[in-house]
Amino acid sequence: MRRLGVLLSTVILMLGDVVAVMLSFLLGYLVRALFSGSDTSGGVSATTLISRVYFLLVYPFVFVYEGLYTKRLTVWEERRRCFRGVLVASAFLTILLFMVRLWIVSRFVVLLATVFGMVFVPAVRAVFKLLLVKVGLFLQPMVVVGEIVGADVFCRQLSLNRTLGYKVVQHIQKRDPSDDIIARLEQAEIPPGALLVVLTESFTPQELRRIFNYSEEKFAELMVVPDANLLAASAAEIEQVGGLLVLKYRYNLLRPLNIWTKMAFEFVLSLVLMIILLPLFVILALLVKLSSPGPVFFRQERIGYRGRIFTCFKFRTMYRDAEQRLKELLVQDPAIKEEWVRYARITNDPRVTPIGRFLRRFSLDELPQLYNVLKGDMALVGPRPYLPTELERLGNYIRTIVRVRPGLTGLWQVSGRSELPFQERILLDEYYIRNWSLWLDFSIIVRTIKAVLTGRGAY
């Protein structure tokens, strides 16, 4: 039954892709008609394309190569592959039409359709996938075996990526060292077609060998999670060395070419933003000054590149005696102290001014950090700029984090902002450093705009 659901889901996604591409071409015709003042150009019309719509099947063929029908991808990875797939398929279509000398569509329309397709294809796929997950066609059940901590982190990542279509139906953990996990699996009600997820840190090598052997008999697929601490930070590729499979880890943002490419891109973008946002800077500065006594800007020491301390600028959002108020709060209320230790923030913080709450909700207080980016102290996107007082909590992670410049925004902010526990922020920062790409920076900037506009996770 599940195989039928997977097949049906694939067919529906293919049809959705063809519809999205067709809409892109029709919109391309419409735009060209607006420019030319008619619905035809050189005898080529939209109806001609519709009569030869089978030529558009080149798009799903390319999408198969991109793994868009065979792999479960995160939203932004799927969008990246959609962009590349639309671009490659459009080039193939142009070459194909040139070879058969059948000009059913103008090159200008192909160009327009490529641009529109980069928007329509991922958008239609996202809608279709959510609907397929909702009706249960695209869902794959999961059985997770391992400790509760690793399972919680794993399940949280699944909840942030619903279009993956995974659903945890069983979580089995060892009750004591002598517990037989195989016997527990035998007793569990496991739906057909389920995927077994093994959190390896919970088991000895001998136990893992037994689990793997058992999975070959009872499960169609097996997913192995090396370690809960590496779950959100590993960027590994599988390579073969002779008869051995090895994991190869990479640190993309530690390569000189990548560093200079990122710095040049962010300097230009930050300079443009500073110029465009200058009127907003003036307005916000006046509001801060009029809201409460004190300076307009808040200066704070942060840990920067190679561990150097730099001065980070923000619009002031707190009263002048904020530090004294914090000390009194932590002494008076144990619950507030626990929240501060876990999240490094306080809900409904009484130290924050009324205008400060508005600035924090939409992250406007961080705009002066564009000056830090231009100075070279910070990056536009990067790890969180940590406080010197947080060094002990950072532990050994600080060695990796200080090898790059901290960011005005980052993966930690678009993944939950202040709602994330401190430890998960660190793991996300490490993940970013290992997996950096211009596409990842672009996706974080777009997601930051969304998070800021909605105020999600602000405090």
Confidence bin at 163 (pLDDT 50/70/90): confident
Whether residue 359 is predicted with pLDDT greater than 70 in this model: the reply is: yes
CB 303 within 8 A of CB 406: yes
Q: What pLDDT is recorded for position 233?
A: 47
- Pull the structure tokens for residue 275: 């110029």
Among 46, 79, 53, 82, which Cα is nearest to 66's? Answer: 82
Whether residue 174 is predicted with pLDDT greater than 60 in this model: the reply is: yes
Distance CA 233, CA 431 (A): 4
Burial per residue of 291-316, b for 16 or more beta-carbon CB atoms within 10 angstroms, e otherwise: beebeeebeeebbbbeeeebebbbbb
Residue 105, amino acid = V
CB 124 within 8 A of CB 17: yes
Residue 271, amino acid = L
Whether residue 371 is predicted with pLDDT greater than 90 in this model: the reply is: yes
- Confirm whether pTM is higher than 0.85: no
- Pull the structure tokens for residue 445: 């900037």
How do the domains of the chain map onto residue ranges? Answer: 2-135, 140-231, 256-317+352-454
Note the pLDDT tens digit of each residue in 55-101.
788 899 999 988 898 888 888 888 889 999 999 999 888 887 777 66
CB 433 within 8 A of CB 400: yes
Among the ranges given (26-30, 334-338, 364-368), the one the predictor scored with the smallest mean pLDDT: 334-338
Confidence bin at 232 (pLDDT 50/70/90): very low
- Pull the structure tokens for residue 240: 């073969």
Q: What pLDDT is recorded for position 404?
A: 87
Q: What pLDDT is recorded for position 210?
A: 86
Q: What pLDDT is recorded for position 42?
A: 43
Q: What pLDDT is recorded for position 431?
A: 79
User: What are the φ and ψ backbone dihedral angles of 34, each rounded to 5 degrees?
Assistant: -65, -35
Q: What pLDDT is recorded for position 353?
A: 86
- Pull the structure tokens for residue 6: 């997977």
Helix (H, G, I), strand (E, B) or coil at 219: coil
For the domain made up of 140-231, give the CATH fold. Rossmann fold (3.40.50)
Note the pLDDT tens digit of each residue in 105-149.
677 888 888 999 999 999 999 999 989 888 888 888 888 888 766
Distance CA 56, CA 291 (A): 59
Ramachandran sector of residue 314 (left: φ over 0; alpha: ψ -120 to 50; beta: rest): beta
